[in-house]
Structures are given as structure tokens and as C-alpha cells.
Structure 1
Amino acid sequence: MSRTRTAMFAALAFLAGTSGTAYASVPSTDAGISAIPCTVDYKVQNQWDTGFTAAVTVTNNGSAKSSWAVKWSYAGNQKVTSGWNAKISQSGTAVTANNETYNGSLATGGSVSFGFNGSYSGSNAVPAAFTLDGVTCNVDDGGGGGDNGGGGNNGGGGTGSRVDNPYVGAKVYVNPEWSANAAAEPGGSRVSNQPTGVWLDRIAAINGASGHMGLRAHLDAALAQKGSNEEVIQLVIYDLPGRDCSALASNGELGPTDIDKYKTQFIDPIAAILADPKYASLRIVNTIELDSLPNLITNTGSKATATPACDTMLANGNYQKGVSYALAKLGAIPNVYNYLDAGHHGWLGWDDNFGPTATLFKQVATSNGATVDDVQGFITNTANYSALKENNFTINDTVNGTSVRQSKWVDWNRYVDELSYAQAFRNQAVSVGFNSNIGMLIDTSRNGWGGTARPAGPGPQTSVDAYVNGGRYDRRIHVGNWCNQAGAGLGERPQANPAPGIDAYVWMKPPGESDGASSAIPNDEGKGFDRMCDPTYTGNPRNNNNMSGALPNAPLSGHWFSAEFQQLMQNAYPPLS
């Protein structure tokens, strides 16, 4: 809900719509804007039970300024908790916003914008009056005439239309926190300058949790890295109600019915920050809600892999509602690029999963205010291990008259690697109604499978299983294994436009961050213990009752796992120099 006050005369009639949104009615006049020394546009962009986000735009109609101070007072108990593009202080109900060093100049007729987060209880009334350097704004002082130039209330937005592929011609943000962890490892400086995703996996992560950088800090750092170039920053939007209904290690903080909390306390504050004009020059890539929609395809109903939690999420529709809301809200920002998670070939590559997944995505992308224009593409293999390209066998090979599809490893899948799957999924998505210029991302952070275990050629043709198992790069016990996999290596380094239909290879999952704990660890992050992260676990129907293949002594998901990082570097393919 948005609240605005753009008051240009002392006597204004405030109107209340049925939605409760407050806005100003400005009567027409022949008096010029020079009669008004300054105007202040104050908007409550988002509001939830105890807090709100506001944007303020100040227009100076007087003489040019080299510094400025805007002041107002609240009628209630509102408190400013954090701000941007201005130094904001508060004493009692009185608030003062002073310029930053970089935006002190305010020309005649010029405008400047800043914003802040605040807390409140009870009502959150718009301030009644504002001053700029002690002069009351929004009041006609009876001065000169001229044409009323009007002026909008948009207060920000992007610098232009989206480009077709945000990665082309752009640097990609290097997360300084991950970079420091990588550089601190022996040999880690070889990859510590690589770009990785920033995970927003709980509400507290927006402002910074457990001493880590918050979203604004990352965006500010991206601006500093950008300089005069184009810059992509990669975010993982990951906090749906009932998150990841088939795995405990990545369960989230929100319960199955917390859809309103997801919207108002997670997506809305993120959107408000991303829409700040300060960040309009960045290309912001959002990976939207990993594992959510694919779970509704494969882990519900009468399937052997079904779970009660996934059945609950299918029934209440909150995965679909949450994803469509995120797409619509974030997609409205001109410099944002949304990529929906499309699982990986070892999850959705079978005929009865592949087509229905694309159809479900289309339904979600055209509901609750979202449109296909809010989707710039899809990402596969996020935080997974599926090999990018298997060169030693193809889906069309046969051994003694038996198709590769009949091998235990492929198990009638239509695809044997991520590149073929991603390219085919892109075509399927276009066929069901997504825009023809969508692109794919493939997470190659942990799918290199190099080192001494990497086969040099095809396996023996004594049987189809020997042929596939002897030649496959992916050395997992089963394609359904996903937690801290033994033997994995870093994959292709991040790069733009590497293959037809592929926007980029990315390291969306930061290498060295755990998938989940090997044993139960009490925590306040909403993360459960998943036996798939236990190296002694003998499996379940989702991995055909095989061993988990997980490394021992792993910490909670998202926490630094030195032994894994060392393994990833050792087994990197292409190898590290």
C-alpha cells in the first residue's frame, strides 16, 4: 500500500480512498511553481504491522544550494530506524535529513530523493509540514507567475529499458564476505575474485543478520565496484512459506500459511530497496524461490516421492501465490531481471515432469498481477551438482541394442546433462507462452567433477550400465543426491553468453557454503536436520534408497565449510592454475 503527500498549497483537502490510501488533491492554478519555494513529496511505499518504508523527494524552487537540510515532525510515535541517500537523525518527534557528501548540490528547479525505514504502532500519519533550510515548503508565498510545470511523483525508477542479456558487457558483483572466506583458504586466492550470489534467505538478511552485510550494504558495494562500467548483482530470493517442503536442511522461518508475512515483511521491503533510484544503474538479477514450484510437480499426490508438507503447499497454493507476488512486485522495477528456478535435469528431465513444470510456471507467471514480462528467464542446477556436459555418452547411444536411457544412472531420463536440459527447457517455456527472448542461467559452482576421478573416455561396452558409469563425469552415487557431495569440483567459471540460449554460467551458490549439517545442530535460523546430509544415511525413494554421498562434519546450511571448499578446488574442472 502506498501513501503519498504532495502538498503544494496551505489549504489542501486530503481524501481517503476505500483502500485507506492517503493522497493529496491539488487544485488547478495559474500560479507558477516559483511562487512555492520548495516542494516535498513524502510517500509511504510499504507498510506492515510495526514498520514502514518511506521515500522523500525534495524540489528546490529557490536559489541553488551546495548543502541542504529537510525537517519535519511526526504526530505519532514513528521512529526512523535506517536511511539512505541522506544523513537522518531524530529527536523526539522531530526529524532532520541532511545531504550526503555526494548529493549536496541542489540546483534551482532541481530535485533530490532519499528514503528510510521506520517503526510505528497505532497510526502512521503523513507529516503535516516540511521545511528546506528553514523555509516552509508546499506553501504558496504569493511570488511570481508563470506556467505551472507540474511534476510527477514517481521519485525514481530505472534509467531505461532492460537489455536482452544483463550479463553481456557487464562486470558481476564479487561478494566481499564470500571473497574474504575464499581468500583465507590455502589456494583460495585463485578464485576469490569470482562473482557469487547473495542469498536473502530470511527476513533478517535484508538488514543484515549475525553480523553479515544487509541488502543495502551489498548494493552499495556493487556501486563501488561498478565505477563507470555496467554491473550485475545476483540475488537469491528465498523465504517462501513452508519453504523446500521435501528437504529439512533448507526449511525456512515461515510456516505454510504465512503468505501475508512473506509479502509484507520479505518481498515488499526488498522491492522498496531495489527501487531506490540510487541503484537504478545496476543490473539486478533475482533468482526466484529455489525448489518451490518443482516440488509441486514431483513430490505431491500419489507419487512415491510425495511428502505431506508438499501436499500441504499444493493444497493451500501459497507457493504459487508467493512466487507470482514476487515476480509482479520485483518485475515492476525497470533494472531488475527475474529468473525462475527450474530445478535440474536429474529432477525434472523425465517426460512426466518436464512439460508440466513449464505449464505450471506459465500459470504462476500470469496470476496475481504477474505477467510473462516479469520473467527474463530461468536458472537450472542452483546449488546442485549435475554435470554441465557429458561428453562420453549421449541419450541416443545404445549398447548391445539397449538404450542409454535404460541404464540405472539415466533411468529413462530424456537428458544426461544440464546444458542439453537447459536449452530444451527454454524451448519448452517459449512454446507454452513465455517471451521468445528469455535466457537460461546454469549454476556451475560445483559441477566440474575433475581431478583423478574424471573419466578420460567412454566406459566399456560390456553393458549399458558399465558404459554409462565408466564414462560419466558426475561421480555421485545417485543423481538425486544433493547435500555436500563427496568428490565434487568447481565447474566452469562464470561467463556471459557461453552457449545458444544460455545467458550465463553463474556461481549462484557460493562454493564453500554448506548445503546442510551432517548431524543435528540447534539453531535460530529455521534449519532442520536432513538425513541426506548425513554420510551414514542409506537413502529414501527420492534417491532410490542409495547412500547419501555427503561429506562428514558439515556445518549448517550457508555456513562456511572449509573441507568442502578445499575439495572443490582440488577437483575443479577446468582445473585451477
Structure 2
Amino acid sequence: MPTSRRTRTIAAITGAVAVVAVVAVVAAIALLRGQAPQPPGRGTKIVASELSKATDAATRAADGSPEQAAARYLSEQPTAVWLTPEADPLDVVGERIAALADEARDQSARTAVVVYGLPERDCGGHSAGGLDGEAYIEWTRAIGDALRTAADTAPIVILEPDSLALAPECGNIDERVAQLSAAVEAIAGDSTWIYVDGGHSNWLPAAEMAALIDRVDGASRGDGGRSIRGFATNVSNFQATDDEVAYAHDVAARLDGLHAIIDTGRNGAGADGEWCNPPGRLVGESGGTIGDDFVDTNLWIKPPGESDGDCNGGPAAGRWFPEAAVELTRNVVAD
């Protein structure tokens, strides 16, 4: 290649790189000024936190054991981080989110959290607990403040799984709508994408689920605009992805402008009718692999390997369950 032509080519490439860099800087500045980033979609990558229970389990398991291999694999998978008042109280939760956001920046990923601490959580079931009303508002405000500080990581929030779908059974629909609406107001930010509980395809009919979501959406709107992006389905459940996509479409079609995220962390073998540590399950599709006009994408929301509760041989809800981790990963981890 003649020298002059090579020089022009190098100059053109250098100029193109400079333009890309300038565009990236401008986009970052725009984000920091409060302009909303792109919503989650196909290709979304969330943080794989080194502070996960899977990481801890991998360090404690015997070297070379199936338990260590399963835990190590799961620790490397991008998975939402659950915030509870028991593990992340008011004076800790902001620091936890800041550390998570730092990890997200290092991984060029997005922060993704599950907020799980509302009053009378789980209606006294396996995950019973939560805060009283005033403490919950204070706690969610602290979460909102920390997420707004981490706006450059375009945070994704899954708000109170099971809360809406359980409300008819628990007889507290009005109370739940008020609590969730207040939490949305406390957490909302220009760069934060909030998804409320959407149950799953084998729970409430789509029309009933949509009506519950619509009440939260309507109560939490400010100045006529929306504070939530949509709803999350299949959280901590095992329904097949195709069934969840169809269900999400049915629900979203009744909610003009709202979108869905689907939990595919543990649905690789579908569901067998049980929800609490059912045997024979498998991890599902990696996050960010699907997306359409109604479903923003899929993510791992319930961390595979963490127990659903004291059932089918499992420990208390949220604790590490080594046998389940091994079973869930049997098709992706070599013996």
C-alpha cells in the first residue's frame, strides 16, 4: 500500500475511534445529567457479584468436589442481588448498593437488585418477615438514594416478588397497592427501571394480574408519567420460558405501555407443580438472551442454589442449598 494511502487510512481509523470516544463521553455526561438510559433488552448484562452466597459457598466447599464446581459456576453467572432488611438494614443498604455499583462498573454491567422487605412479607410463609410501614418507607428511600447515586449503572429493580400475586389470597390488596406505590415513589429515578410483581403463568389469570399491576401503576404515577417500567414474572419459580412469554404478552396487552422481565434462572426443566425446592430442576437460559415488543428481556433473578424454604430437604429460605446447586447445574458442570 502506498505511504500516502496508508497514512490516510490510519488517519481515518484514528478519527473514527475519536468520534466513538466522544459519543461515549457525551452519552455518559447525558446519563449523569438525568436522561434515562435505554431500558433493559436483549443483550442486557447485569453484575455477577463477588459478594454472592455462591461465591462464599465455592470458597468453603471441598476442593474438587461437585459442590464446589456447582457453586463456582453459579458465582460466575450474572444474577440479581436481593436486598432484605435482615441482611441489609437501613445503615448498611446504601453501602451495599454502592459496592455493587462499583462491581457493575468494573464488569461493564448494570446493577440489578431485588427489593424484598415489605410489611408482613410472604404472608407468614417460608420467607416471612419484613419491616413495619414507617421503617419500610425509610428503608426504600435509602435504596432509592443509593440507586440514584449509581445512575450511571442504569439500575434494574425487581420490587417485592410475590407481593401482588399473593395479595388476593392474603386479603390485603388495598394495603399492598399502597405499600408498593409508596416504595415506587421512594425508589424511582430517571435512570432506574422498576418492575413490580407479575406472578407467573400458572398462578393468577392474566386479567386479574394486569388489574393488580394497573392499580400500582396508577397510584404511583407522577405528573401523568410512569415511575415503573413494567412487571417481572416467574421470579423464584420454574415455569417454561415459552409459557412465561405468552403470559407476559397477555398481561402487557392489558397494560398500555408496560413491559415484562422474565426470571429464567431455574426453569431449564420447566415446572412440576411444586414451587418449594422441587427436585429435578435445571438452570435456564442466560440473562439477556430474549426480548420483543412486550418482553424487555430475561434475567436470573432468584439466585440458583439458594433455598426456597424449609421443604424438600432445604434449609431456611435464602440460605445456600448445596445439593440443589449441584442438581441445578448437572447439565452445565462437568463431573
Same fold per TM (> 0.5)?
Answer: yes
* Higher normalized contact order (CA 8 Å, seq sep 6+, divided by chain length): 2
Q: Which amino acid aligns with 1:217?
A: R
2:178 to 318, 321, 340: 321
* Change in 2 beyond 3 A, CA 1:275/1:172: same
Measure, in 2, the Cα distance between the counterparts of 1:293 and 1:363. Answer: 10
> Which residues of 2 match residues 470-489 of structure 1 at below 5 A?
473-474=270-271, 476=272, 478=273, 481-489=274-282
2:120 to 242, 262, 265: 242
Could you tell me which runs of 5 or more consecutive residues in structure 2 were left unpaired when the two chains were aligned: 1-30, 60-66
> Which residues of 2 match residues 379-398 of structure 1 at below 5 A?
379-389=232-242
Q: What is the Cα deviation at residue 369 of structure 1? A: 5.7
Q: 1:294 aligned to 2:165?
A: yes
Q: Which amino acid aligns with 1:270?
A: I
Q: What is the Cα deviation at residue 187 of structure 1? A: 2.4
Q: Which amino acid aligns with 2:142?
A: P
* Change in 2 beyond 3 A, CA 1:426/1:166: same
- Aligned partner of 1:377 in structure 2 is 230
Preserved contact between residue 426 and residue 440 of structure 1 (Cα < 8 Å): yes
> Which residues of 2 match residues 32-431 of structure 1 at below 5 A?
158-167=32-41, 170-178=44-52, 179-181=54-56, 183-184=58-59, 185-188=67-70, 189-202=72-85, 204-206=87-89, 214-227=93-106, 229=108, 231-245=109-123, 248-254=125-131, 258-264=132-138, 266-276=139-149, 279-297=150-168, 299=169, 310-311=170-171, 313-314=172-173, 317-331=174-188, 333-348=189-204, 353-367=205-219, 373-389=226-242, 417-430=243-256
Q: Which is strand-richer, 1 or 2?
A: 1
Preserved contact between residue 343 and residue 380 of structure 1 (Cα < 8 Å): yes
* Change in 2 beyond 3 A, CA 1:439/1:364: closer
Which secondary structure does the structure 1 equivalent of 2:110 belong to? strand
* Change in 2 beyond 3 A, CA 1:168/1:387: closer
Q: 1:513 aligned to 2:306?
A: yes
TM-score, reference length from structure 1: 0.47
Q: What is the Cα deviation at residue 498 of structure 1? A: 3.7
Measure, in 2, the Cα distance between the counterparts of 1:242 and 1:327. Answer: 18
* Change in 2 beyond 3 A, CA 1:168/1:421: closer
* Change in 2 beyond 3 A, CA 1:505/1:516: same
Q: What is the Cα deviation at residue 325 of structure 1? A: 0.7
- Aligned partner of 1:501 in structure 2 is 294
Q: 1:445 aligned to 2:328?
A: no
Preserved contact between residue 206 and residue 250 of structure 2 (Cα < 8 Å): no
Measure, in 1, the Cα distance between the counterparts of 2:263 and 2:235. Answer: 5
* Change in 2 beyond 3 A, CA 1:567/1:323: same
Which secondary structure does the structure 1 equivalent of 2:306 belong to? coil
* Change in 2 beyond 3 A, CA 1:440/1:233: same
Measure, in 2, the Cα distance between the counterparts of 1:216 and 1:192. Answer: 21
2:315 to 555, 563, 567: 555
Q: What is the Cα deviation at residue 190 of structure 1? A: 3.5
* Change in 2 beyond 3 A, CA 1:329/1:217: closer
| Percent of aligned pairs sharing the same letter | 29
Q: What is the Cα deviation at residue 555 of structure 1? A: 1.1
Deviations 1:89-132 (A, max 9, x none): xxxxxxxxxxxxxxxxxxxxxxxxxxxxxxxxxxxxxxxxxxxx
Instruction: Give aligned pairs, total.
Output: 294
Q: What is the Cα deviation at residue 559 of structure 1? A: 0.7
1:565 to 312, 325, 331: 325
* Change in 2 beyond 3 A, CA 1:334/1:242: same
Measure, in 1, the Cα distance between the counterparts of 2:252 and 2:78. Answer: 24
Measure, in 1, the Cα distance between the counterparts of 2:329 and 2:143. Answer: 34
Measure, in 2, the Cα distance between the counterparts of 1:366 and 1:164. Answer: 23
